[in-house]
C-alpha cells in the first residue's frame, strides 16, 4: 500500500505522516517514509536523532530513477537500482523501524 499526504502549507501534513508511519510500524507493517518537501521536517517529526538526520542525504530523482513512456504515451518513474541499496546508501532506520528517505532539501539561502 502507498499513502501520500498532500495539502496546503501548515495543515499538519508532516505531523499526520509521522504519526501514521510510526503507528503502522508499531503494528508490524514495513514502513518507508519519504520526505519530498523542499523544507524537509519529517525526520524530526519521526523522532530521528541529530546523528540520523545528519546522515540523511537528499536524493536527486535522476540519480536513482528514470522516466519510461509506454505505447499509450503514459509516463511513469522506475527505480534504476534495487530499493534496498537506496535505503542503505541514502536512508536511516528510525524509531519503530520506520525507514526514512529524503528526496529534496533546500540547497541554502539564495540557491533555490
Report the C-alpha dihedral over residues 50, 53, 54, 58, rounded to 10 degrees. Answer: -170
Q: Which residues pair with 79 in a beta bridge?
A: 65
* Cβ(42)–Cβ(100) below 8 Å: yes
Q: Is the pLDDT of residue 56 over 50?
A: yes
- Give dist(CA 57, CA 8) in Å, integer: 26
- For residue range 2-52, list pLDDT tens digits in order: 898 988 888 899 999 999 999 999 999 999 999 988 788 999 999 999 999
Residue 10's pLDDT is 87
Residue partners of 21: CB distance under 8 A and separation at least 6: 31, 33, 46, 96, 98
Mean pLDDT of 81-85: 87
Please give the mean pLDDT across all residues of the chain: 87
- For residue range 30-39, list pLDDT tens digits in order: 999 999 887 8
Amino acid at each position: 500500500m502507498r499513502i501520500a499526504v498532500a495539502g496546503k502549507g501548515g495543515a499538519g501534513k508532516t505531523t499526520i505522516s509521522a504519526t501514521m508511519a510510526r503507528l503502522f510500524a508499531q503494528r508490524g507493517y514495513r514502513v518507508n517514509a519519504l520526505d519530498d518537501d523542499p523544507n524537509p521536517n519529517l525526520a524530526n517529526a519521526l523522532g530521528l536523532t541529530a546523528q540520523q538526520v545528519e546522515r540523511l542525504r537528499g536524493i536527486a530523482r535522476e540519480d536513482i530513477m528514470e522516466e519510461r513512456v509506454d505505447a499509450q504515451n503514459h509516463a511513469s518513474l522506475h527505480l534504476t537500482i534495487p530499493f534496498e541499496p537506496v535505503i542503505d546508501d541514502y536512508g536511516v532506520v528510525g524509531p519503530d523501524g520506520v525507514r526514512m528517505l529524503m528526496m529534496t532539501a533546500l540547497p541554502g539561502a539564495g540557491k533555490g
